[in-house]
Chains A and B, each alone.
Chain A
């Protein structure tokens, strides 16, 4: 039996009348990865925030390494050995500073550090940390200039630099490609071997299969399941998390009618191979591929945010060259972008205004808004797509991630479109909400063509009629979503090298 690093007993937390944690008992043992699963709003984030000192528990005890642990703030929690990498990347890094400073930042706040910063020492220390993580970038680079995956790795490396007793990872792979995720897993393996207790929060079954020693599920503020006997019962865990049996989504692929979008000899980047592709009316096509495979670039070209380096687009047989998002929307091409909190949510607005913001023109007469029409349309959509809320007057940031995403997707389903682009529509969304969204998109797909851009193959399998694999900005494979040969699909995703290796 390993040592218990962190022991939680009877942890309770309320926000006003909202009872978020209802008595959590949990042991986290050293050298063990505990996966924490739970739908959005189950209380995972609150539990993490109590552990890392953002919130105080109302009652209950926490022990860390045998000592009572009640962090006064985030810095205190870190200095006592509880280090957290948060879901939102930019919480974990300071974009305007260079990599070296970011990697050593927490040391600057330690008591007893000198007044002056010795840059050379700092960089040497940072390089050490970076190398131990397998990071190869120049530590003098500004973090803002790195791509998302590297920024995420920096955030995690920062946590590692503190040699933590308990490491909490809150959806760490949500912006990583699978090879980068594998690097992270390798690190987690190493830390586990060193005896760190790890609490790993994720929605991704593939992560959990790869890394978890045991699974704890939360539902409605309480622990609803604990799975620690080999082999882990993943289906049981999902059940305990959702409270009902999820049936596998069974897609009956639609052939599609006449072509809506035709892509001819399109070059995503200057030096990439041309793409030819046709999306037909009524079908849903999922584009999948690693981070950097050109998914987002393709979506942005179709939505008029980027210019292609060559080739042409046809919309309903006519030349289509959008000058920008506004022009695309006018022509019936809508896009729900990825990273909703940055790209989609208007935090000051309530649900109704968030939902209707693209189509305010349609809800107004002589520019004056028809509040009633706005709210009625919103209520209809709330019912249809299943947003859990008190009313359409709720502030958008009172909703859980899955419900916010429903609003963001619902926004583009208020009006008929010719092409609906959904870039990572299931990002940070629990399985229940994901199924709701997927179902509703399939229900409404008849009179348009729908293009979905997802990194997760599971998500593509759940929603698409046809799956197109992108690799290095070119089409690497195409599958009708029926009895797919997953090995071949994964090989296409991984690229030609992988395929040769498999063939050999």
Chain B
């Protein structure tokens, strides 16, 4: 132990420094500590929470949301926003079902079509924003409406399942192929038999890729530059338009990956699924701002944000909280995270405005 200072008091500067360090620490690690604390709390008070199966269940519950959230993170990084992700996911869900059940095509064709559709939607979004100069929120809002409507047209608003009767009087004879269902239902062995489902693996893989892409490649760095000062990025020679379009294409494709996994889990083209996807994934991406004091979109934060919501809901459910509290809890977490990000960071940055 060091002896206490003889004078027994700290100078103004030292107190200020301590406060600043404490604030910096809180901003940087507060969220992760909260996440750990939450997990610990539920482990103690909710029996069965601290088990591999439960952990995997949490991951599974956030995998699809998380994948969409990683896509929207890319658009947030370039200073945009993608409201169409939820409808792209449900469109992919319906498209894959339509391809296999009604057109009787293989799983490969279904997946390929969905990915192309997602990329195409992203391209159109990007072109609307970059070339037609439609503000991002409005362009993707329009696209959202368009897709919600479009996905209902081929089936007259019905869900798609094997055996459904078609307009021409015949019966749909195609089925979801086993290979496709594998995507949603197969579980890999990890210590325990049949533990980790494919969507969780896909989620973790995509999270890793987006994390590397945004954080460690020059393309990611330039995308952050665009988000921070688009003019400056353009004037150092960055092809701003191309990067923005690419961001929306990534977002569209990841959303369709989410839709494919959802379809594979459900095993039918359920018109009513995926209603919550947009809000949940946007929330995860925004909560991610608060992780590690980044105060900006980032892949690690997004994944952690999705997990945070997952852990909270799983824990509360296991402690018998009613299901209808879920949205309220998510909203509360989101608001808290936003306050955390914007208020605390602005206090830390306060000196800069001097």
A-to-B contact residues, CB < 8 Å: 15-18, 20, 45-46, 49, 55, 305, 324-330, 335, 337, 342-349, 353, 357-358, 360-361, 363-364, 367-369, 395, 397-398, 411
Contacts and interface: CB of A to CB of B under 8 A. Distances in A.
Given A357-B221, A369-B217, A337 B17 contact: no
Interface in B222-250: 222, 224-225, 227-229, 231-239
A325 B239 CA distance: 9
B133 interface: no
Given A15-B354, A17-B13, A369-B216, A349 B237 contact: no
B20 interface: yes
Given A363-B218, A395-B352, 15 more contacts: A16-B13, A16-B20, A18-B354, A325-B234, A325-B237, A329-B236, A330-B237, A343-B231, A345-B229, A347-B229, A348-B227, A353-B221, A367-B218, A395-B349, A398-B352
Contacts of A305: 235
A55 B354 CA distance: 9
Contact of B232 (A49, A344, A361): A344
B235 A346 contact: no
B151 to A, nearest CB: 36
A326 B239 contact: yes
B296 interface: yes
A96 to B, nearest CB: 14
Interface of B: 13, 16-17, 20, 212, 216-219, 221-222, 224-225, 227-229, 231-239, 296, 349-352, 354
A326 B352 contact: no
B235 A325 contact: yes
Contacts of A368: 212, 216-218
Given A357-B236, A358-B237, A369 B228 contact: no
B237 A17 contact: no
Contacts of B234: 325
A327 B238 CA distance: 10
The dominant DSSP class at the B interface is: helix
A348 B228 contact: yes
Contacts of B219: 367
Given A16-B16, A345-B229, A357-B222, A364 B217 contact: yes
Sort A-B residue pairs by CB-CB distance and give the 3 closest, nearest first.
A360-B218, A329-B237, A348-B228
Contacts of B350: 15
Contact of B225 (A16, A335, A357, A397): A357
A327 B13 CA distance: 51
A141 B225 CA distance: 33
Given A357-B236, A367-B218, A368-B217, A346 B231 contact: no
A289 B238 CA distance: 30
Contact of A346 (B13, B16, B228): B228
A358 B219 CA distance: 12
Given A325-B235, A364-B217, A364-B218, A17 B228 contact: no
B217 A367 contact: yes
Contacts of A346: 224-225, 228-229, 232-233
A398 B16 CA distance: 18
A358 B224 contact: no
A324 B240 CA distance: 11
B313 to A, nearest CB: 32
Contacts of A363: 218
Contacts of B216: 368-369
B130 to A, nearest CB: 14
Nearest to B350: A15
Contacts of B16: 16-17
Contact of A397 (B17, B212, B235, B352): B352
Nearest to A412: B236
A47 to B, nearest CB: 11
Nearest to B296: A348
A360 B352 contact: no
A213 B212 CA distance: 60
A364 B350 CA distance: 34
Contacts of A342: 229, 231-232
Nearest to B218: A360
A195 to B, nearest CB: 32
Contact of A369 (B13, B221, B349): B221
A347 B17 CA distance: 24
Contacts of A49: 354
B236 A15 contact: no
Q: Name the residue among B236, B296, B351 with the largest chain A CB count within 10 angstroms.
A: B236
A305 to B, nearest CB: 8
Contacts of A367: 217-219
Contacts of A397: 352
Contact of B351 (A16, A327, A347, A360): A16
Contacts of A360: 218, 221-222
Nearest to A13: B354
Contacts of A15: 350-351, 354
Contacts of A337: 235
Nearest to B227: A348
Give the interface centre of A327, A357, A397 by most chain B CB atoms within 10 Å. Answer: A357
19 contacts: A15-B351, A15-B354, A16-B13, A17-B17, A49-B354, A325-B235, A325-B236, A337-B235, A344-B232, A348-B227, A349-B225, A353-B221, A353-B225, A357-B225, A357-B232, A364-B218, A367-B218, A368-B217, A395-B352
Contacts of B218: 360-361, 363-364, 367-369
A212 B92 CA distance: 70
A346 B234 CA distance: 11
A49 to B, nearest CB: 8
A329 B349 CA distance: 34
Nearest to B294: A348
Given A364-B217, A367-B218, A349 B224 contact: yes
Contacts of A55: 354
Contacts of A18: 351, 354
Nearest to A54: B353
